[in-house]
Structure 1
Amino acid sequence: MPPTSPVPDVFAPAKLGPVSLRNRILKAATFEGMTKDAVVSDELVEFHRRHAAGGVGMTTVAYCAVAPEGRTERNQIWMRDEAIPGLRRLTDAVHAEGAAASAQIGHAGPVANSASTGAPALGPSRLFSRQSMRTVRAATKDDIERITRAHGDAARFAVEAGFDAVEIHMGHSYFTSSFLSPKINKRKDEYGGSLDNRAKVALGVARAVREAVGDRIAILAKLGMDDGVPGGFWLDESVEVARRLERDGSVDALELTAGSSLLNPMYLFRGEAPLEDFAAAVSQPLRLGVKLAGGAFLRSYPYREAYLLESARQFRAAVDLPLVLLGGISERATMEAAMAEGFEFVAMGRALLREPDLVNRLRDEPGTRSLCVHCNKCMPTIFSGTHCVLA
């Protein structure tokens, strides 16, 4: 956005690709833990209806796997014919409240829990997963081609289910993200080594989605800016991937995220890591592992408003694509500052779990302060139905 452009009103209508939104505030994807049998439940419909009624421009369903082995656990939705009626019920409920609906699609790759799904977890290279306590298998070229096609198929299912957008998951060491990371990707073939090679999966997935749906719905990519660990994917390379996605014309916007579910998950969330709550929420032997070594894996980082802004500025300077600022967005002043810096949208997560109607109140009473204290105790509730424990 040129510096001379007028600063947009975050509460005014906006275009995201072919979709018109009532404002520039998105409900970020936060796994809901409400999809028993891998299909939509009444609880999931109500979760998103409530956020739509609370004022967001678009709410994001997280997460819709493109293949059964691409789930982090067996109850997650995977995009297939049986899931469509429930997803259509969800999008109808969201639309009835005046909001748009986005489906986060992706393949969990090495983050998938093979012990839960019963299928091998796939990554760029063979590695041992501390989450599932099993080995991740190196994806074959056939696997890569199949998973790439599956993203396109999932996007078509999203159109059939009435979604206004899809968000391709390219962060947190999920399949496409793991290929980007030199810390995880140790391949010696055309998918490893140079950034040109490591980016092939992400760029190919985005192209497959664009080819599948054209301009019928908006396409976002949730792109990891950095893994948060030495030797991992870092800003210099992620900015270049953003440039290539823009050049391809395969996405309408980028939502900028950070951290690795395999290597450093709290780098995204910031704040205290609720280790005791995590230990209580999981079964053995993982519970013992959390108690003994959780502090080394779930590190704590200081929380502040807009904590990803400094990194995200590098993308704003490098591409003209619309950008969604994520991370510590809970005050109207933060949203307006993001607009002033050229970000077209903001995304909110934990603050909306605490108060689903926060957007309406921020619009009507600009001085409203979020009640979220960023304790992160909502995070372990993904195993039982995501919610704020203080609400």
Structure 2
Amino acid sequence: MESVIDRACAAALYAEGDAALDTGASLLAASPEADAEAHRRGEEFVRRAWERGWHPADLVRYVRRELDERRAALAATLIAAETARYAELPPRWRRQLAELPPPVERNRPDRFGYAGDLLELYRVLLRLPAIEPAGPPPGAAADPHRPPAADEPRMLTRIRALLAKAEATGFPEEAEALTTKAQELMARHTIDEALLATRTHSRETPGACRIGVEPPYEGAKAVLLDAVASANRCRAVWNEDLGFSTVVGFEPDLDAVELLFTSLLVQGTTAMTRSEAGQRAGGRKRTKTFRQAFWMGYAQRLGGRLAADAHRITAEADTSADGGGGLLPVLAARDVAVADTAERMFPRTTTTRLRGVCDLDGWNHGTEAADRARVRGPGGARRGPDGEIMA
């Protein structure tokens, strides 16, 4: 049985072209007794991906980009089987696993087609590049300086509920009020966590998470994520080739970034659809240039608003904290820790200028949508008109 799998992998994984895949798939399809071992080989490839820094959502996203949704679902099936052997998983891993595509039926009647899918997936997994670790792999010893994982804090549950209502409403004014309230809660939560860490002499250090930046218009979406990260005292570094940004920060701030960025994408998409409907009613067809300009205008304006509101909220909190003046040194120390961690993880980042915006209507509609979103954050910096982000 082992020799069949070895021969199939040798034929398909280390050569190019469909002919090599067909040879390997024929060997597997003709050997039903090798099915279990073939899947165990796939779980081993997944385990190696964890060692190279990948997480479940990263892996499925990459397979979807390189192959298609069918093979992404097959990857999710292998991931579910591999991670089932761990007694404990980090909270972020558990959330990612819950959002994976449903498992596919193993060894379906078309054995040759299934074997071909399996081997083509293994080709991709075998050639995965190593990426910067964002937290320990499953099964690693827990960080002694990080408190044990617990259920989601009540504050984050409230924030999640507010943002869900903002995404669902059809009234821009209501969405604005709900999103503003959610971000204010995020700001208070971040500040409370910082002050608590200082009082308890916490030795917790910044961590990291990866957030998918999906096409189309991924450049503008990366600018938006960078703005949200900065507003929540985090650093974001975009990897365009692999389709994600790595966000570095303290755990409560990383949760805030994930929640707010996801919600702003939903709200932005809704606003863009509404704007395009108005354009079509006026006799203009929907265009790629309109949508590109919309997302850039939306991201740029939100970056400016987040930065301005961040300064105000932090100043107000500093005035009331411990009789005044006690908060800024605490936040500054955490900012330095985040910056140091980001520089260690990414010592060779570059600055990318995003250009190509040539539709004034799209830009104006995007900035108006950003004005309606009108969110606030606890810290950050203003972005220039060229959309500079770390990459």
Same fold (TM over 0.5): no
Structure with the bigger percentage of strand: 1
Structure showing greater radius of gyration is 2
What's the TM-score once normalised by structure 2's chain length?
A: 0.27
